[in-house]
Structure formats: C-alpha cells, structure tokens
C-alpha cells in the first residue's frame, strides 16, 4: 500500500472520530437543556435570524476545515523539491532533497546536480564532470534543476547527457565524413595528376655563349590525361649524399607554348635564374636532381586536380574517428547508398 493511500485512510478515520465526538456533544447538550417554550423558540429564531434548517449548515465549516487539514497533511507528505530562487534556498533545498533519497541514490543525485550545474557553461565536458560541493552547486544553480525532486533531477541529468552525447556523436560523424571526402578527393586528384608523367629530368651547369656558367633543367613530359595542359608547377630538389641541407629546394613553373594535348609528349630545356640557388657554383657535377609535378592548369589556365592531401594532424584525427565511429559511419553509408 502506498504512502498516499495510508495517509488518506488515517485522515478519514481521524475526521470520522472528530465528527462523532462533535455529534455526541451536541446531542448531550440538547438533552440537558430544557425544551424552550414556543414563545422562547420564536424569540430565539427571530433574534438570531435563523431558521431551523440552519442548524444543519453548522457542519459546513467543519467539513471545510477537515478538507484543509487533509491538504496540509498531503502537502507535508510530498517529496521535497529544489528551490533555486536564491542561493540560501538552493543550499537548504538541495540538502533536504538529498536527505530524502535512499542512501544508494545520493551519489547519483550529487553527480546529477553537478552535470546540471556545469551544463550552463560552454567549454565544460559534462560527460566527465568534476566533483562539486553543495555551495558550488547552489552558486551555479540554474533553471534545469529548479522545482525538481531527487528522482526528477537524476532523470534530467541523464537526459542532458544523452543529448550531449548525441550532439557530439553527430559532430564527430560530420568531421569523419568531411575528412574522408577530402582524403578521397585528394587521392582521386593525385591519380589524375599521375597521368602526366616526367619521363626524365636532368640538371647541370652549361657554359653560355658569353662564357658564363648557367644552370640548365631538361625535362621529358608525357600527357596521359584527357585534358590539354597549358602550365605545370614543379618542385626541384638538388642534393648530395651525406649533405643534410639540399643545394636547391625550389618551386617553379613552366608555361607550355601551345599547350600539351592528351597523349602528346614533349622535351623542354629550361634556364632558371643563374643568380639564385640554381646558379650556385659549388653544386658538384654528381649532385642528385629530383623533380615532381605539384600542379597542372588546363587550356583556360584553371587549376586541374588540385585537391590538397590531409595534413598529419588530420590523418591522426581521421584514424581516431574511424576507430570510434567506423562501424556507425559504415552503417550510415549503407543506408544512404543506392
């Protein structure tokens, strides 16, 4: 039997007992008082401005008082609630609500209040809340906890955690999808650029007609793509074994006269600035020359296949997200697929 039903039964028995006592007293007083004469009764009724049936209405105040008493008793039996209207009220009400809970729920209640108190601050991880005492909780009390019982506070905190986890999961999946898309685009463009090949590359010093040494770069290129190439961006590195710093590490570009059509090959002889790093006379004849294609432009001069690869930090982040949400992302892809 619930506490509410027990309280109602006790109140009903108390009220019936009070009514019986009152009725007995009224009957006893009527028996001991001599009946008034008709003149006396008429005078009494006129003076009191009462009719005989008004005697029954004397029970109404008693009934109202009993009802008020019952409501007061029921209110006293209701669960205490958190009051955040002021800091003192919050401190007192939090302690009352905590004491009303079974001991095994009090730690959960403390953590629930901490979660609700911290949820109003940005940049705080409510999934890993730090312990807070009653004064700290009261000071940061907010609308989340006002008017809640102990069990309601625990459920509210669980709801906040579920919502926060759902938001973080949604954000993480969004980052995962974007990184995977960026990686896929970069890989696609890398393969497309790889269709334009450097068949040979050579760097050496040559004597000009005027007797001065000048650097020369010779390139053999084949366009295996389906686009006409108008310009190449290249990176050249000249190094020697055992030398930590290369002699040259420069990016340069070459505008192709007339462009390079799909399937076409060409040989170019370039003359970089002899007053820059390329013209360093200390570069030995056996130095190693490596050159890579960094970018391509189409016939209209627009960049081709220029998606940038992931940075090291992005690759690490992608690995972390795949480990945590990989199965979920794969399931979402299957559901959204054709």
Look at 27-41, 133-147, 179-193, 239-253 and tell me which has the smallest mean pLDDT. 27-41
**In this model, does residue 116 exceed pLDDT 70?**
yes
The CATH classification of domain 194-304, taken from the options 2.40.128, 2.60.40, 2.40.160, 3.90.1570: 2.60.40
pLDDT, residue 90, reads 84
Sheet containing strand 229-239, strands side by side: 248-260, 229-239, 288-297, 303-304
- For residues 108, 109, 112, 118, the Cα torsion angle rounded to the nearest 10 degrees is -120
pLDDT, residue 48, reads 46
Q: Model's pTM, two decimal places? A: 0.58
Q: Which of 245, 248, 247, 264 is nearest to 256 (CA)?
A: 264
Domain boundaries of the chain, sorted by first residue? 3-77, 87-168, 194-304
Phi, psi of 35 (to 5 degrees): -65, 135
Burial 277-286 (b: 16+ CB within 10 A, else e): bbbeeebeee
> Using alpha carbons only, how large is the chain's radius of gyration in Å?
46
User: Are 238 and 287 in contact, with CB atoms under 8 Å apart?
Assistant: yes
For residue range 31-90, list pLDDT tens digits in order: 444 554 444 434 443 444 444 444 444 445 545 554 554 444 444 458 899 998 888 888
Q: What is the mean pLDDT of residues 261-273?
A: 95
**In this model, does residue 335 exceed pLDDT 50?**
no
Rounded (5°) CA angle 64-66-71: 95
Query: How far apart (Å, rounded) are the C-alpha atoms in residues 310 and 308?
Result: 7
pLDDT, residue 221, reads 97
User: Is residue 196 within a helix (H) or strand (E), and if so which, with residue range?
Assistant: strand 196-207
**In this model, does residue 246 exceed pLDDT 50?**
yes
pLDDT, residue 329, reads 59
Q: What is the mean pLDDT of residues 235-245?
A: 94
Mean pLDDT, the chain, rounded, equals: 78
For residue range 165-212, list pLDDT tens digits in order: 999 999 999 999 999 999 999 999 999 999 999 999 999 999 888 888
How many other CB atoms are there within 10 angstroms of residue 23's CB atom?
A: 11
pLDDT band at 336 (very low <50, low <70, confident <90, very high): low
The residue with greater pLDDT, 316 or 143, is 316
pLDDT, residue 208, reads 82
pLDDT, residue 70, reads 47
The residue with greater pLDDT, 90 or 227, is 227
Look at 113-127, 182-196, 206-220, 250-264 and tell me which has the smallest mean pLDDT. 113-127
């Amino acid at each position: 039997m619930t506490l509410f039903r027990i309280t109602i039964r006790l109140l009903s028995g108390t009220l019936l007992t009070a009514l019986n006592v009152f009725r007995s007293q009224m009957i006893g007083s009527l028996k001991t008082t001599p009946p008034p004469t008709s003149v006396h009764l008429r005078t009494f009724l006129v003076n009191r401005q009462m009719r005989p049936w008004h005697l029954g209405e004397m029970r109404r105040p008693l009934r109202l008082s009993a009802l008020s008493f019952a409501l007061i008793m029921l209110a006293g039996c209701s669960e205490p609630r958190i009051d955040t209207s002021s800091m003192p009220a919050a401190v007192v009400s939090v302690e009352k609500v905590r004491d009303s809970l079974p001991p095994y729920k009090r730690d959960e209640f403390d953590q629930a209040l901490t979660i609700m108190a911290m949820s109003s601050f940005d940049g705080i991880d409510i999934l890993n809340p730090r312990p807070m005492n009653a004064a700290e909780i009261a000071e940061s009390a907010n609308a989340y906890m006002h008017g809640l019982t102990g069990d309601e506070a625990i459920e509210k905190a669980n709801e906040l955690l579920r919502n926060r986890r759902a938001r973080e999961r949604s954000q993480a999946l969004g980052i995962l999808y974007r990184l995977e898309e960026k990686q896929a685009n970069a890989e696609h463009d890398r393969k497309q650029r790889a269709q334009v090949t450097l068949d040979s590359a050579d760097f050496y010093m040559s004597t000009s007609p005027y007797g001065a040494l000048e650097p020369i770069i010779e390139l053999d290129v084949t366009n295996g793509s389906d686009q006409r190439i108008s310009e190449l961006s290249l990176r050249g590195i000249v190094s020697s074994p055992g030398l930590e710093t290369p002699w040259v590490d420069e990016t340069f570009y070459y505008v192709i006269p007339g462009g390079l059509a799909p399937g076409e090959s060409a040989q170019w002889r370039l003359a970089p600035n002899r007053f820059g790093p390329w013209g360093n006379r200390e570069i030995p004849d056996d130095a190693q020359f490596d050159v890579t294609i960094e970018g391509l432009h189409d016939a209209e001069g627009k960049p081709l296949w220029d998606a940038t690869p992931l940075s090291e930090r992005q690759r690490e982040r992608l690995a972390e997200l795949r480990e945590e949400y990989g199965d979920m992302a794969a399931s979402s892809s299957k559901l959204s697929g054709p």
